[in-house]
Chains A and B, each alone.
Chain A
Amino acid sequence: MTPKRKKILIGALAGVLVLALLFLAGLTSTERENISKPEQFLRDMLAPLQNGASVVSGNIRNWGAYLQGVDNIRAENDELRKEISELRLQLVDLAEYQQENERLRDLLNMAEDVDAQFEYVTTTVVNRSQSSWYKTLVISGGEDAGFAVGMPVVSAQGLVGRIINTSANTAEVLLITDREGAISAMVQNTRTVGVVEGDGETSELSMIRVPYDAEIENYQQIITSGYGGVYPKGLLVGYINSIALQSDGLMLDIDVRSYVDFNRLEEVMVLKPKN
């Protein structure tokens, strides 16, 4: 083969390879119900090893804290945090119950409680790729544990995200801080509805599509609205940190803070429908 022909052949092969890979990327760019067999195989094969490695990293983090001589304080702090989280959740639940009771006295059977609809399945985080382009977590437990695409994932501090794909032993969770993880939410006290979305860059959230005259204040709790059918109503999203008027003067720019520390998540709960 002449060098010129060889060059043409190599160029053609490179072109075909690039087009094939781009085509494949395009095919898989939408949210998929089922991932391919090679993906499932590799994810399941590597999951136990990843799990082991993440346990080691968790231990090292704890060890670092021990070396700093704050272990006891940490344990106490963890206990208090847990208690605060539980109380906070109880408070949210109580406020929610109170409001629901008032509003639904005449509209019984219109809304159902999250606890009645879902079973909480606790699982561990085996990998997080929050440093990269998309903010996702990989959790242990997949189809074998009954997890499916679309199931909400929460922690004791509030909403974490939803499952976007599963293999037999793992599931990938799209965090609410991802720019594609927007959720329909409402201010708990005033029932003002909006959309909470992440910027994909930090762990910060903002609530948009809220009219300028909405009667809201700082530190009010934000919960899921239940609209859109992705998340059930009443899951804690965060609280209002600051409110500003958009430049057009028609909508509010609301800075929302989640109670969840997305960088330190080690255990989460998947909300599995009971029926």
Chain B
Amino acid sequence: MIKVNNITKKFGSHISLENINCEFNKNESIALMGANGAGKTTLIRSIMGYYHLDAGEVLIDGLNPIKQRVEVLKHISFVPQLPPPIKLNIEELMQYISVSANVDKELMKHYANEMKLNINANLNKSFFKLSGGMKQKLLIAISLAKESDIIIYDEPTANLDPKARDDFYRLLKQNEKEKVLLFVTHRLEEVKDLVNRQIYMDFGKIVPDERF
């Protein structure tokens, strides 16, 4: 499903990814780990087509995420490390997602409800004015409602309380079949029941890649 072929990404003289090769297939839940600056987020962003690579290529179902970004992104759900300060209100943000990615608004509300977030009470509130936890819950709800084949989470539980984390993992467990689930995380113990593969990165390289 996702093929990462020998990719290198440099920022100036700093090599962020060096000759990375890996493949992610259906029904794989991967914990992507490593110290800060190891290249985890760069790898994720390369998969999503945000970076022009210095060498190598990423293919998603045979498609290039830069040249065929619209086709590729139809199949990807993404939650970033920190919720961005989007000024749109919740209603507008949902409209943006509903029109651009054909996601059912009711499904977004359903998953938000499952995450104990009452969307209807906050529809006219700007996204950036929500609390950190509420923002994260909404982004998770959107990612699940999109029903993508590939779900990428960049440390999604950073702002969540223990109860919300449990809700999140429960929903994920229900939705992981026939998908690729890619987690960037520093806490393996939290996701160990969910993942079946663990990749550790260091200085832009994959050090161990273990399946279990």
Chain B binds chain A: no
Which residues of A come within 8 Å of B, CB atoms?
none
Which residues of B come within 8 Å of A, CB atoms?
none
